Structure 1
Amino acid sequence: MATLAPETRPNTPHYGHAVMPQATHDEQALEDHFLAMRAWTNQHMDPLDRRLLDEVIVPEVTAKTGKAPTRSGEVRGALESHPLHQYWLTLSLFYQDRIWHVIDDAIDRQYDDLAGKVAELSAQPKGSLRLNPDLEMPRYISSIDHHRMGGGYITDTSEADFRAGALYDRFASTYLRNLNGGWKNDGRGHTLASHVQGFFPDFKPKRILDLGCSVGHSTVAIAQAFPDAEVYALDVGAPMLRYGHARAESMGVGIHFSQQDAEHTDFEDGSFDLVCSSALLHETSAKGMRQIFKESHRLLRSGGIMCHVDVPPRHEHLCLWDQMRCDFESHYNNEPFMTSLARTDWMKVATDAGFAPEKVGIGYRKGTFWLNPNTSDFFTEGHPEGRTLMGSWYACAAVKD
């Protein structure tokens, strides 16, 4: 029987880094059970649900309205009233919620041990951690438990609380497994770095700011891609940052974390060469996104680069069922802004923020788990094979005059 390499063996101390929550045999068995449920749903129920939409719902709506639907909103009511789709919805939410609970219980078991490691790693840092207990939380963060994660990103029970970060880190590595870089969950960071290096091969940033860093999954990858740069990262969640700081330290990467709102930071004008984010914008409001682009422009020096990478594909590039999958995240998975972001004119947002149109590039970037600065992986009309939801990210890069 083949054995897993130590770094991929989930129930050994070699899995992940020093502060990654570990799983016992029984905890791992439960995780695997619900992951198998997810795989079964994706492989067997997704195709049936797609056929239901294409072969039953669309003809019914067409007959009733006299025209074929082109937007998910035109079929949502009819689709969600059908028992098969209700079953698909139930399964899709159930296995995800159960994984959250399994990992939460595992963190309870080892919380004191993890707390000691977090404190130890924070005592002699390569980077730094700056918190602001008086920070006013954006409503689009404080009113939602994103991804149905219990307590959300900002629940803070003590001056040393790191639980939200530990929960998010372990869930991301478990839920996505090898889909986004394995236990590091750093595929987006490598994709962003590759995107910048591919289009700007002579770009050598000295100061980098990662907005909405959560626990620093992408930040670490970006720091490793630009080893000569001083790297800063911010987020609104104190427990995410405490954990993220310890996580980066355990991986030998010095990052300067601070608790700030990406819309209004305390950094000086023109203080960064690269301002970036990964998977931040779909968790902000439309107003918040516009302000983040403006703040990015303010923070960049002349010739500096803004790069934002996010998940929503363009709705106009999707079939009805893929539109519905995107809408599912908004309506049921506590990602209320994902659908609106998929319909947002990113070029207008960038130019309104101060970037010249000819200095803005927007399109799909093929996902990569390693540094691969290949501009042929970039396309503007969706994936060449028609797959926009899987295997690519929507990227916006702009140069400040």
Structure 2
Amino acid sequence: MAIRQDTIWERFLSPVVRLLIDEQSLRRYAESVDWEKESANFRRDDVTIPSYYTSQNFHGIEGGYLNRSAAVSYDPITQYVVPPNETWVRQALIDAIRVQPRRILDLGCGTGSTTLMLKQAFPQAQVIGLDLSPYMLVRAEHKAQSANLDITWRHGNAEKTVFKDASFDLVTASLLFHETPPTVAQAILHESFRLLVEGGQVLILDGNQNTLRQLEWLNDVFEEPYIRDYAAGSLDASMGAAGFAAVQTQDVWWINQVTSGVKPILRENTIKISVGQYAPTTDTTIDNNDLEDFGSPAFGTKA
């Protein structure tokens, strides 16, 4: 497993972020959970963990996301590395939704921050969060319980889910594609196309590819093994290759972007979606240090 010990993150940024995080609360939370027992509630024997996921470290975490340390530390760290504000950035995906979904699938949901916001925005919809790490799903479930939100969490691979064709009105992915090789990202888009009903929408929130290409040094900040491939690509082109129509990308605070696509309706020649320049609609902040009593980083609530 390749480990880069000389990243800017390891040398400079990680120590700074650690000063901002309440590590004692994190430790108490981690020790209060029987991770193996709770992760077993999500773990599926028919899920094969791909090598690109197990052979690399992500964000300097040895072993990537397949351990409880990643589940505990992901939220507190992410709030400081998604500028200018994590909630505002995730809200951009919510604001770009142009369908009235009855069923929503959030791919690579991690600890569920965007998944919870989707359920809050569409309380009557069935919302499913899918992730390869059962440990991340444990944390996601704790957050959903704290926020009193009914969300289904599934252990699975976004490249090949077990769901039937045309099962969802909306498929989303937040901060996932920069952590996958290009062939995997394309496979996820093809799977998203299969899962959507005609007229259904896919939304991908991630780093701004134009910005990442212009500021090469940003790619050296964190231990992200696939980020250069992601930056060199075009999500618009990848969505078109997967069959999506009305593909548009909007900048989100220059550092990030939201890309939208629609599964064409066969009886219509074109589908148009009005996607304007992103403007924030919320002033909410995420308190990812609020872990007492299983507090929810997504909403700053207590159980």
Deviation at 1:101, TM superposition (A): 7.1
Structure 1: gaps (5+ residues): 1-88, 123-128, 156-161, 368-387
Instruction: Tell me the amino acid that sits aligned with residue 93 of structure 1.
Output: E
1:218 to 114, 118, 138: 114
Is 1:130–1:258's contact at 8 Å kept on the other side of the alignment? yes
Deviation at 1:94, TM superposition (A): 2.1
Residue 153 to residue 100, structure 1, CA distance change in 2 (3 Å): farther
In the TM superposition, residue 134 of structure 1 has moved relative to its aligned partner by 4.7
Tell whether 2:56 aligns with 1:151: no
What secondary structure is seen at the aligned counterpart in 2 of 1:136? coil
The root-mean-square deviation of aligned C-alpha atoms, in Å, is 3.0
* Contact 1:208–1:230 under 8 Å retained in 2: yes
SS at match of 2:199: strand
Is the Cα–Cα contact under 8 Å of residues 118 and 246 in structure 1 kept in the other structure? Answer: no
SS at match of 1:153: coil
What are the residue-to-residue correspondences of 1:332-351 with 2, within 5 Å? Answer: 333-351=222-240
* Deviation, structure 1 residue 189: 2.8
Residue of structure 2 in register with 1:93 after alignment? 10
- Identify unmatched segments of 5+ residues in structure 2: 1-5, 265-303
Q: Quote the residue 1:397 is aligned against.
A: 260
Specify whether residues 138 and 96 from structure 1 end up closer, same or farther in structure 2 by C-alpha distance, changes over 3 A only: farther
Show the counterpart of 2:24.
106
One-letter amino acid matched to 1:208 = I
Partner residue, 2:217: 325
In the TM superposition, what are the counterparts of 1:1-400 in structure 2 within 5 Å?
92-98=9-15, 106=24, 109-111=27-29, 114-115=32-33, 130-155=42-67, 162-173=68-79, 175-176=80-81, 179-181=84-86, 186-196=87-97, 200=98, 203-314=99-210, 319=214, 322=215, 324-329=216-221, 333-356=222-245, 359-364=246-251, 366-367=252-253, 388-389=254-255, 393-400=256-263
Q: How much has 1:280 moved relative to structure 2? A: 0.4
When the two structures are aligned, how many residues end up with a matched partner?
A: 256
Residue matched to 2:295: none
Residue 304 of structure 1: how far off its partner (Å):
0.5
Q: 1:116 to 1:289 in 2, by over 3 A?
A: closer
Distance of 2:7 and 2:167 partners within structure 1 = 48
Inter-partner Cα distance in structure 1 for 2:230 and 2:27: 39
Q: Give the distance between the partners of 1:114 and 1:195, measured in 2 at CA.
A: 38
Q: TM-score, normalised by structure 2?
A: 0.74
Alpha-carbon separation, structure 2, partners of 1:154 and 1:133: 15
The alignment's TM-score, normalised by the length of structure 1, stands at: 0.57
Deviation at 1:298, TM superposition (A): 0.2
Alpha-carbon spacing, 1:90–1:302, altered in 2? closer, same or farther (3 Å): closer
Consecutive aligned runs of 4 or more in structure 1 exceeding 4 Å deviation: 89-92, 99-105, 116-119
Distance 1:350 1:90 in 2: 32
| 1:273-310 deviation per Cα after TM superposition (whole angstroms, max 9, x unaligned) | 00011110000000001001000000000111011111
Secondary structure at the residue paired with 1:148? coil
The CA deviation at 1:144 is 1.6
Q: CA deviation at 1:318?
A: 5.8
Change (3 A) 1:113 1:300: same
The alignment-based identity, stated in percent, is: 30
Distance 2:62 2:18 in 1: 9
Q: Deviations over 1:30-77 (max 9, x none)?
A: xxxxxxxxxxxxxxxxxxxxxxxxxxxxxxxxxxxxxxxxxxxxxxxx
1:194 is aligned with what amino acid?
A: D
Contact 1:360 1:399 in 2 (8 A): yes
Change (3 A) 1:255 1:314: same
